[in-house]
Structure 1
Amino acid sequence: MANKEIDQAVKGLSNLTVTPPFPSLPPPSISSTIYRGLRIPSSWEEAADSIAYDSCTCPPPIVFICGPGNCGKSIFSRILLDTLFKRQLYKRVGYLDTDVGQPEFNTPGCVSLHIIDKETPDLTVLCLKTPEKYLYFGDVCAKANAKDYVFYIFNLYNYFSKKFYKFEDLTESDKPHVPLIVNTSGWIKGFGLDVLVDILRYISPTHVVKVECSEASKNLPGGAFWLFGGQKSNAEIIEICAAQKNTHSISSKKDARTMRDLRFLAYFRQCLPKDLEIPSYAELRRHLASITPFEIFLSKINVTYLHCQDSTKMTSHSLIDRIVGLAISSSIPSSALVSTPWCVGLGIVRSIDIERDTIYLVTPIPLHIVKKVDVLIQGSIEIPYCLGAGHT
């Protein structure tokens, strides 16, 4: 990422409104019809309206959005989210984000469930929200461990279904009445298609929105491709054209890593006072380095190494300068398909003192939660390059 771009982005982070406990990312200077370098088709609003009108009956809709990468799935999910609120049928909407590389409301490397209670109508604003529940996957590509990736999604859907989506007695005022939007990644070819099929069969959505680009070879198979031959789908299939790339947009020239770094910068920016002036990434790095880190006992921490890392070859120092998931061992999903506990936050391991049995950790989560953390989850995610000690 160019120094000028980082400086502008980080400067913007110092003056943002916080959506507790996450701050928003800086809005790009683009028109209301362009988002992340893509032009939004007007037909998308019609598709979102049709789903909202269908949602007048019980149970609430479960909408599964899929298609190739960079076609606008996340944008459509935001439009649909706000449309469901505008219909004033729901006070809350569930949002299951399965894209570990380019999530909509969370930091990369996580699979998360959000329960959103208000509109976010400005599509030019990228914002991070507090997840209802999430699991730290530790990589920005689902291919790193497709089996656990699928099980993570199943766990989150099970949690949502049990707590917010009950088929019996839905008319009772004391029962949850929450629709769900499932946003997916663009990994839809080869084994990625098998993964998508597994998720679709497990969730069994009421609506499947297939975003299709002009190049047919990049699209998903036709019809209810996730069912066995002869089976009929109970889901309504809605096909929409992909958003068009705006070649003149600055945001279209930024690669995926840029957006990931910005999200991590936004997350760790909240370790500092909200009103602190931060004009550049160098200042952000300096201020983060000046923070008094949390101290936790190394001997009380269980380190979980993800994605087939050989724990016998790993040392505690391999944690340094890594973004790690923070978890509490007693907080395992009740329908656990994997043993990974719910994530309570992310941290950066600044250093480790073996003699003092101490890990020095930088994280925005509050002290009373840090005191309960006894699991560090290490994947392959390192701190953004611009925050590295050797970067000048």
Structure 2
Amino acid sequence: MDTGGRCCGGGGAAAGLEEEAAQREREWEEAAQAVAYDSCTWPPPIVAVCGPGKSGKSAFSRLLLNTLIVRYRNAGYLDIDVGQPEFTPGFVSLHVLEEQTKDLTILYLRNPKRCFFLGYVCAKRNPKLLLTYIFDLYDYFLKEFYRFHEVDNPMKSAIPLVINTSGWIKGPGLHVLPEMLKYVSPTHVIRVSTTVERKNLPCGTFWMNEFDESPPVNLFEIHAAHNSPRHLLVKKEARIIRELRLIAYFRQCLPRDFNVFCLNDLIQGFASIHPFQLRLSKIHVIDLHCQVSSTDAHRFLNGTIVGLSTSASPPLSIESSTPCCIGLGFIKDVEISEDCIHFITPVSHKLVEKVDIIFQSCIAVPSCLLQVSGILSDVTERLLKI
């Protein structure tokens, strides 16, 4: 009898969880519909999705994108979550999407309209640079995609924008968010919250002060996808997701018909790629976070993921000469004596030939890439055991 009672109780709990999940799904769909089909449908909405990490911001952003695409045909996506970027690993990026995402659980790769390389997974190293990236991408969106003088041409008229923010709720991350919101002045802000109040962002329009004269904002509050305290594996899961996105990115270097059934297949595949070669003397190495001196920069490139750029790329802004990024590269080998650098990248050969700028990074390298780089340092061995 006791066992039966416990089973019934377990079944009731499971039913309760299913009902709660269904309620959350309805809440999310209603919020997305309210934003897309607001009584004020012109100009198109500019929406910031905010909340703590692992609360479902990215999933809701994609649901909202799907809804907006039905309404407006196209939708912009400004991804400023450098720790968990949705479509392009390693970047702060601007995308324009024309098709709905059918499965919100699949990791997608997309080519951005414009992107910048930060080289770190959080804001604490250089919050000022991150904000500069965000402001530039937003200004670029306004100039290229938020135009009102061509309303008769659906391919060129204004489109909505969804901004996927990071999950930082304290420290430099919390400094970046209100500064971004002040600059953008979104029409809508979605606040995703959990039941653990100390894990949430402040309530209301926390980024404004009483003297602000910003336009009114529509504030929506929705509950997190998994409305429970964050568990101890969150950071580990975030690292795994970043690694999967990076593997998927460099998987594009392999033939489409190359079958991958296990880790060894990936290692062998990456090892078989004929790397690009560039002369070191023609490469300008930029360290965005001042980790090493410029004279020692080359020796620290081996076995790292870097951002690739060209001096012909448009600069960040009048105040900064940092150019846009064209893709990621993995440095397999650096031969200083032969003035040569060997790296793999899915970027086209035509663009690689123009690369003369490399951005260093602190991004953790997936083990399947490290094992083909020929590095036998203590750091590498430690990373392989994680």
TM range (shorter): 0.7 to 0.9
Q: In the alignment, is residue 364 of structure 1 matched against residue 346 of structure 2?
A: yes
Could you say if the C-alpha distance between residues 52 and 163 of structure 1 is closer, same or farther in structure 2, counting changes exceeding 3 Å?
same
Richer in strand (by share)? 1
Amino acid at match of 1:363: T
Q: In the alignment, is residue 74 of structure 1 matched against residue 58 of structure 2?
A: yes
Which residue in 1 is equivalent to 2:200?
219
* 1:40 CA displacement: 5.0
Contact 2:49 2:162 in 1 (8 A): yes
Which of 13, 25, 31 does residue 47 from structure 1 map onto?
31
Q: In the alignment, is residue 145 of structure 1 matched against residue 130 of structure 2?
A: no
Amino acid at match of 1:222: C
SS in 2 for 1:44: helix
* 1:253 CA displacement: 9.8
Mapped to 2, the partners of 1:55 and 1:379 lie a distance apart of 45
Amino acid at match of 2:114: K
* 1:86 CA displacement: 2.4
**C-alpha distance after superposition, 1:102-160 (max 9, x if no partner):** 111111x3101111111002112121111111001001112121110111111111111
What RMSD, in angstroms, separates the aligned Cα atoms of the two structures? 2.6
Mapped to 1, the partners of 2:172 and 2:257 lie a distance apart of 47
Equivalent residues in 2 for 1:1-392, closer than 5 Å = 40-54=24-38, 57-87=41-71, 90-107=72-89, 109-166=90-147, 168-173=148-153, 175-231=156-212, 233-244=215-226, 255-312=237-294, 314-333=296-315, 335-389=317-371, 391=384
% identity of equivalent residues: 48
The answer for unaligned runs of 5 or more in structure 2 is 1-16, 372-380
Contact 1:347 1:361 in 2 (8 A): yes
**C-alpha distance after superposition, 1:286-336 (max 9, x if no partner):** 221121111111111100012122324624121011000000112133634
Amino acid at match of 2:305: I
Could you say if the C-alpha distance between residues 373 and 39 of structure 1 is closer, same or farther in structure 2, counting changes exceeding 3 Å?
farther
Q: Scaled by the length of structure 1, what TM-score is found? A: 0.83
SS in 2 for 1:115: strand
Mapped to 2, the partners of 1:355 and 1:261 lie a distance apart of 32
Could you say if the C-alpha distance between residues 143 and 334 of structure 1 is closer, same or farther in structure 2, counting changes exceeding 3 Å?
closer
Contact 1:295 1:361 in 2 (8 A): yes
* 1:201 CA displacement: 0.7
**C-alpha distance after superposition, 1:176-197 (max 9, x if no partner):** 3211000001112243322111
* 1:254 CA displacement: 5.8
Contact 1:245 1:252 in 2 (8 A): no
Contact 1:93 1:178 in 2 (8 A): yes
Mapped to 2, the partners of 1:346 and 1:66 lie a distance apart of 27
Could you say if the C-alpha distance between residues 351 and 94 of structure 1 is closer, same or farther in structure 2, counting changes exceeding 3 Å?
same
Mapped to 2, the partners of 1:252 and 1:380 lie a distance apart of 20
* 1:231 CA displacement: 3.6
Amino acid at match of 1:171: V
**C-alpha distance after superposition, 1:186-216 (max 9, x if no partner):** 1122433221111001111110111111122
Amino acid at match of 2:353: K
SS in 1 for 2:333: strand
Contact 1:113 1:133 in 2 (8 A): yes
Larger RCO (CA under 8 A, 6+ residues apart):
1
Contact 2:68 2:74 in 1 (8 A): no
SS in 1 for 2:342: strand
Which has the higher Rg, Structure 1 or Structure 2? 2
Q: Scaled by the length of structure 2, what TM-score is found? A: 0.85
Mapped to 2, the partners of 1:302 and 1:45 lie a distance apart of 48
Mapped to 2, the partners of 1:93 and 1:313 lie a distance apart of 44
Richer in helix (by share)? 2
Amino acid at match of 2:311: S
Contact 1:325 1:345 in 2 (8 A): yes
SS in 2 for 1:244: coil
Could you say if the C-alpha distance between residues 352 and 190 of structure 1 is closer, same or farther in structure 2, counting changes exceeding 3 Å?
closer
SS in 2 for 1:144: coil
Could you say if the C-alpha distance between residues 333 and 163 of structure 1 is closer, same or farther in structure 2, counting changes exceeding 3 Å?
farther
Contact 2:65 2:162 in 1 (8 A): yes
The answer for unaligned runs of 5 or more in structure 1 is 1-32
Could you say if the C-alpha distance between residues 359 and 216 of structure 1 is closer, same or farther in structure 2, counting changes exceeding 3 Å?
same
Mapped to 2, the partners of 1:309 and 1:357 lie a distance apart of 22
Q: Report the count of equivalent residues.
A: 352
Mapped to 2, the partners of 1:304 and 1:190 lie a distance apart of 26
